[in-house]
Structure 1
């Protein structure tokens, strides 16, 4: 259902820090110092078309955000929706947007839009992209097209689904892409276009005392003998994601270690290419995807290694079985 005639949308911008909120003092480098209200103060006047509020939740670089921040943030978002807010925009550092946005998607499901954005250039640089990204994100958060679309990431005029977006460049404003399926929409002149909606939404509620356990990410390399893999249980990891070659291959020298590991903790097989869906039955040689899945590994489906790690951690925190974890990866592959 659309909004009632005459309804004025309300949006809360929650600032977490990151490049979008950074200032540079002399030669000391940029640091996150701006408040949420300062970020919205850089925007054009929205007039009477919406009620815009801003708050400061953290002042951290994206690289410093962790599970405790995200769980508290998800709780804050749900409180805002319960109070009648129509949409929420989160501003944060781009270093971890592809992980944090997906985590927010998994930790709660609401019809109201949650939109994450940031900046590749801080406000003191020429061509700073933060204000434009923030205005686009607010437009997406107020659009009825965004309802039920899951958490969205808005950067450089494009709208991405949280589960597929990836940061693909260190500095360009166009750094964010969804290499497996492309963006789900765009924003132009304040108009929001969302011709694509991802299927298979999935979320889980963690109990207040549940911990999100550590999950390792190991990239398969030419000639890898698996010694890193064997060390994971003793290091306290509760699960592991293996980023294999191509559709999910590893050197034969890793097989014994991976078989041993899968008997002890859940192991998910993804592709280090970062795009496309993993195979299941195309190849049959030792170390192929077919061989690895027969040894107890779980396919990541269409999720890249970073997203697979986030999902496995949340699933383990919720106490899901191996079968249920496999079902989650299948559902989120679309």
Structure 2
């Protein structure tokens, strides 16, 4: 398509995933093979959007194989493109396995005025009812909208618009797999336009310019009957840890000495494994309760789920943040306009 700067320009970036998968001649199982150009060719309705579209095939991977370094390199390239004013919006297509995580990561690394919209598909292009074309059309619509400008990263799926801090994949196969349990959608796409009903609670701003320091951050879920022996071994091998606790942030009492000792050496973040709601600070006082653990040096994740808390901690550590900065960043997570939760 020709580039007419009287119309918005959106670049569609392909990373692979189900939206780009076709069955293999070898065994009939789907693998990522389609380019960003191929995806656009399947959506003739894009010609009616009055948007100039460019493409970039950045990777061809299943979502499960994307890495933090992949997303860091992508964010660097997209910041440069948006900072130069070459595009008015960006759409990233990728696998849904990790979409909620990469979208949140991008929100920590990208804060240009041009909106960055992440989407994908639950059904591959060769299947009946494939949802990729509709999701791509909706994502381009949002990326080109003046109402999305300055909102940073958004997730668009099934004609709904989500805050990357809140969105979760809550079903393994449904085309309506993506929801935001605590807040609901920010808006919808209807009649070819973005209808924005709310805005993200956080102010988009990058947390780190470069992720040039090594850091290994683990996530360990609380489970009934776990005596903490494996946890103790893991804590000795990492630079940071996120604990996915029971309920509002509880763990077995046998874990308490292990976690207290670790928190004197590395940042240990306490999140909830429930998938919705927040960790608390003082409702319960038994050994292994949220109040007990916070008093022993753990850091509350607030509304951040364990996966997003892990990425926030990783970005902070790889960006060189000290312990005070890490605590200050997590302190308002998910609760105020300045929070990154």
TM over 0.5: yes
Residues in 2 aligned to 1:15 and 1:34: alpha-carbon distance in whole angstroms: 9
| 1:22 alignment counterpart | 21
| 1:206 alignment counterpart | 209
Q: 1:50-65 residue pairs with structure 2 within 5 A? A: 50-65=51-66
Establish whether residue 157 from structure 1 lines up as the match of residue 159 from structure 2: yes
Per-residue CA distance 1:9-35 (angstroms, 9 max, x = gap): 000000000000000135330000001
SS in structure 1 opposite 2:331?
helix
Q: Which runs of 5+ in 1 are unaligned?
A: 1-5
Residues in 2 aligned to 1:219 and 1:48: alpha-carbon distance in whole angstroms: 45
Deviation at 1:322, TM superposition (A): 2.2
SS in structure 1 opposite 2:247?
coil
Runs of 4+ more than 4 Å apart: none
Provide TM-score, normalisation by structure 1. 0.94
| 2:136 alignment counterpart | 134
Residues in 2 aligned to 1:88 and 1:193: alpha-carbon distance in whole angstroms: 18
Per-residue CA distance 1:209-243 (angstroms, 9 max, x = gap): x13522100001112221122112433x1100000
Residues in 1 aligned to 2:280 and 2:49: alpha-carbon distance in whole angstroms: 52
Q: 1:14-163 residue pairs with structure 2 within 5 A? A: 14-26=13-25, 27-43=27-43, 44-47=45-48, 49-81=50-82, 82-163=84-165
| 2:8 alignment counterpart | 9
SS in structure 1 opposite 2:38?
helix
Deviation at 1:273, TM superposition (A): 0.1
| 2:170 alignment counterpart | 168
Q: Which runs of 5+ in 2 are unaligned?
A: 337-341
Native 8 Å contact 1:200 1:332 kept in 2 = no
Residues in 1 aligned to 2:309 and 2:29: alpha-carbon distance in whole angstroms: 33
Per-residue CA distance 1:296-324 (angstroms, 9 max, x = gap): 00000110000000000001111212222
Deviation at 1:327, TM superposition (A): 2.2
Deviation at 1:83, TM superposition (A): 4.2
Residues in 1 aligned to 2:178 and 2:19: alpha-carbon distance in whole angstroms: 15
Residues in 2 aligned to 1:211 and 1:223: alpha-carbon distance in whole angstroms: 36
| 2:228 alignment counterpart | 226
Q: 1:238-249 residue pairs with structure 2 within 5 A? A: 238-249=239-250
Provide TM-score, normalisation by structure 2. 0.92
| 1:305 alignment counterpart | 306
Q: Is the alpha carbon distance of 1:166 and 1:196 closer, same or farther for their aligned partners in structure 2, counting shifts above 3 Å?
A: same
Query: How many residue pairs align between the two structures?
Result: 327
